[in-house]
Structure 1
Amino acid sequence: MTNFSLQFYQFNTWANEQIFKRLKELPEETYRQEVQSIFPSLSHVLAHVYLSDLGWFDVVSGKDLQHAMSLARERKEEIEAKSLVEMEQLFADLSERYKTFLSKEENLPKQLTIQHPAGGVMETTVGDLVPHVVNHGTYHRGNISAMLHQMGHASVPTDYGLYLFLFA
């Protein structure tokens, strides 16, 4: 039986790698260039995605959401200040942690009770939370693509269908 959560997360890793590869092809200043968009720069988008992914990893590892959100607020400026190469390494390291965790089948049905400050209580499983993490990344890769076009640069395809054609 295929571990869909792990496969879907591996797609997320691949898609992020495509974004980093593309950004490293562009002039260095593109990463921090200010743009009128949902985020002020590409560096801010990537910091947001990383901190969100890190927070959800803490949650699936047994920490509470309030703790994860507090850590994200504390580390926001530090992470936004990272270079593109440093961000790429942070993403790669976190991806390895996720893949190791998700490869253990016993972790997927693990029950989670998540208390959100504005959304109440959610009962879910680790396996059911993975699509949220991946979908969040997909959404913000779309932001990155739009911002690149706004700056006069082409983006790169990162959709799940392409991933399946390449790797399934």
Structure 2
Amino acid sequence: MSHFAFQFHDFNAWANEQIFNRLKELPKDVYHQEVQSVFPSISSVMAHVYLSDLGWVEVFSGKSMKHALELAEQLKEQTESKELEEMEAMFFELSGRYKSLLSQKENLDKPLIIENPAGGLMKTGVAELIPHVVNHGTYHRGNITAMLRQMGYASTSTDYGLYLFVKGE
């Protein structure tokens, strides 16, 4: 069996794919439609999740947290303006970076010392932080579900239990 961190990230990629598939079934303007919620649009949520995931893979690859935060700020506006299909391709490519990184055991076990500009030093490892990355995505997929409901649409199931059931077939 593969390492839990690898499997849990695979769940994250699967759940994102479920959201993209559902959004592609809806009218095209839903993706950028403004809604009174935690985020102004679903495209803003997806950009936030993407930039956070990008930041963490940068940190896991040896870049500083400061670099990751600056990169997210630099790319925020252009990422939010992407169309659904472009964002899906970006998530797919980023997922490939994660899979490559997580498939090497030495990366999973590598100790990290991360300097968070807002919180000081943190000693951890990639395998320990993957649940944070996945939980962050899960939380925001919940935002998307609520936003879709506000707009009069149903979402789709992205539960970990469903993922295990589907992947076990």
Same fold (TM over 0.5): yes
- The superposition leaves residues 6-27 of structure 1 with CA deviations (integer Å, 9 ceiling, x where unpaired) of 1000000000000000000000
Moved over 6 A (4+): none
TM-score w.r.t. length of structure 2 = 0.97
Distance of 1:26 and 1:167 partners within structure 2: 26
Instruction: Report the equivalent of 2:130.
Output: 130
**2:109 is paired with a residue of what secondary structure?**
coil
**2:67 counterpart of 1:67:** yes
- The superposition leaves residues 112-159 of structure 1 with CA deviations (integer Å, 9 ceiling, x where unpaired) of 111112222111001101111101000000000000001000000001
Instruction: Report the equivalent of 1:51.
Output: 51
Instruction: Report the equivalent of 2:38.
Output: 38
Instruction: Report the equivalent of 1:2.
Output: 2
Alignment of 1:1-168 (within 5 A): 1-168=1-168
**2:39 is paired with a residue of what secondary structure?**
coil
Quote how far apart the aligned CAs of 1:31 are.
0.3
TM-score w.r.t. length of structure 1 = 0.98
Question: What's the RMSD between the two structures over aligned residues?
Answer: 0.7
**1:108 is paired with a residue of what secondary structure?**
helix
Distance of 2:130 and 2:51 partners within structure 1: 15
Quote how far apart the aligned CAs of 1:2 are.
2.8
Distance of 1:17 and 1:59 partners within structure 2: 24
Distance of 1:81 and 1:33 partners within structure 2: 12
Q: Which amino acid aligns with 1:27?
A: P
Quote how far apart the aligned CAs of 1:55 are.
0.3
Report the count of equivalent residues: 168
Distance of 2:164 and 2:122 partners within structure 1: 31
